[in-house]
Amino acid sequence: MSRLLPTMLSRWNPAGPELGIMVAVGVAVIAAWEFLPPLFDVPKYIIPTFSDCLSEFFRMLQYEELGKNFMSTLVTSVVGFLLGSAMGAVFGYLLGLSKLWERVLSPYILALQIAPKVAFAPLFIMWFGYNALPKLLVTILIVFFPILVNVLQSMKTVDRDLINLARVYNMSRFTIFRKIEFPSSMPSLFAGLRIGATLAVIGVTVGELVGGNTGLGFLITYGEGQANTAMVFNAIGLLTVIGIVMYFAVAGVEKRVLHYLEREDH
């Protein structure tokens, strides 16, 4: 499921009649959302209509510091993503360079990889208090592992013959890493980054849900407390926007860096 979404998004390149149908589906869904709940007497605190959400959006902008909360979540997601991926990549490469450490640490990595990272959020709050640090740590932790695992895996599958070629050219261990192993790992690294970009938003959200007084995750719990369902809807929508923006930012960088790969889509 988490892999299906990225491929669906990256293939999103509509043209002609397809685009027309796509827009029509969107309009139909919004229309159903707007008119069906009142028709069936569904109360606003269960399903607020599209226009309810829209007016709530402008109210939030004015009275709930929506802009500030949005930026807080965006910045934490991006910073957590960058730190988590940098650390994951560094550890992945280091373990990839050392067979011994890889073997020694792999059971622990596997265990931590399986552990649900978001469950650490309350723990971090107990340790570090109600500030930005716990949600940043959850984000880093959740981003760290897929990237570490992808990088490590790619280091293990570098073409032996390429390495032998470099050895015949008398290249040092570090030069072989720099000129063969590191560039070979790029496609896997980016696959990890794309997963990480969507996970980062989950990390921040959980951090904010559990303990925080800023961010879109906080607005979700706040809206829930006030039975303001439209506020919850809006916050979920904006979190999705952040995830999509980050995903496409990574995909854009990937397309530039991996320009040398043959692509199926042209």
Partner 1 sequence: MTSSLDLKDITKVFPDRKTGHEITAVTGMSFSVKPGELVAVVGPSGCGKSTILNMVSGLYGPSQGEVLINGEPVRSTRSDVGFMLQKDLLLPWRNIVSNVEFGLEEKKLTRKERRDRALSEIDRVRLSEFAFHYPHQLSGGMRQRAALARTLAIDPEIVLLDEPFSALDAQTKVVLQKSFSATIAETGVTCLLITHDLQEAVIMSDRVVVLSGRPGTVVDEFPIDLPHRDDPMARSMEPGTRDYVKRLFDTLHLEDQAA
Binding site for partner 1 (CB under 8 A): 159, 161-162, 164-165, 167-171, 175, 179-180, 183, 186, 260-262
Q: What is the CA radius of gyration of the chain?
A: 22
Judged by beta carbon, residue 29 or residue 165, the one nearer partner 1 is 165
Of 26 and 183, which has the nearer Cβ to partner 1? 183
Contact between 73 and 213 under an 8 Å Cβ cutoff? The reply is no
Cα–Cα distance for residue pair 146/203, rounded to 1 Å = 13
Q: List the Cα angle 195/111/132 in 5-degree steps.
A: 55
Residue 27 C-beta: closest distance to partner 1, Å: 42
Work out how close the CB of 15 gets to partner 1 at its nearest, in angstroms, rounded to a whole number: 25
CB of 182 to partner 1, least distance (A): 10
Residue 236 or 257 having the CB closest to partner 1 = 257
Beta carbon nearer to partner 1, 2 or 175: 175
CB of 92 to partner 1, least distance (A): 19
User: Closest distance between partner 1 and the C-beta of residue 96, in Å?
Assistant: 18
Query: Are the CB atoms for 96 and 90 separated by under 8 Å?
Result: no
For residue 105, the one-letter residue type is L
Return the number of the residue (41 or 161) whose C-beta is nearest partner 1: 161
Measured CA to CA, the distance from residue 127 to residue 147 in angstroms comes to 26
Q: Please, what is the minimum distance in Å from the beta carbon of residue 160 to partner 1?
A: 10
Q: How far is the CB of 167 from partner 1 (least distance, A)?
A: 5
